[in-house]
Amino acid sequence: MDRKPPDDDFLDDRLREDPLYQVLRRTQSVWEVLGDRLEDMMLGLAGRSQYLRRHRCETELQAREVRITQKSDGTAVVAIDDWPPFRVSETLAALIRILAADTSDGKSGRDADPLVPIKSYAEVRALMERTLRRQYSQRAVSQAVYRLREILRARGLGGLLSIDRQRRGYRLAVRRKALPPGGSRT
């Protein structure tokens, strides 16, 4: 006796009403999306691995040179060492200039550090207001830092930006004298 498979439409109609089936379908779609993202990440990391091997210094990524070229449309092109350049907004370009600038006075004990000094939250905010001639709340500065961190992570440079919660400040891992305090190298 041949058994006929159950009617798919009948099963789908009954199952669609079942809450467990609905949870299963949502879970399945989440796993599909996560699988696609993981595959994209793995493909992206494979392409970046040669850059990472060349540029990693021990456990921390450090930049030797930061170049910022201002464009006429208000954006800027940022080139860090020999990584591919990328375009950022005027606000993010100012933030990169501030964080990459060597503002040490040569008198403090922290000058033994080979990287540019950590800038306090208040210092970054004041320098952004002075540079861009706009008022900035601390939240606006935090949002700009977050956007910069996401841009750097997308390009494999996420290790450059550090947030020091103990000293309450930000820093780009750039070797000293990489960028003058008020300008840019082109």
DSSP class of residue 133 equals: T
Phi, psi of 77 (to 5 degrees): -105, 125
* CATH fold of 60-172: Arc Repressor Mutant, subunit A (1.10.10)
In the prediction, which pLDDT does 37 show? 76
Each residue of 17-72: pLDDT tens digit?
Answer: 777 777 777 787 778 777 777 776 766 665 555 444 444 433 367 888 899 999 99
Q: Are strands 76-80 and 66-70 parallel, antiparallel or unpaired?
A: antiparallel
> Which residues lie closer than 8 Å to 157 by C-beta, 6 or more apart?
61, 80, 83
**Quick count: other Cβ atoms within 10 Å of Cβ 105?**
7
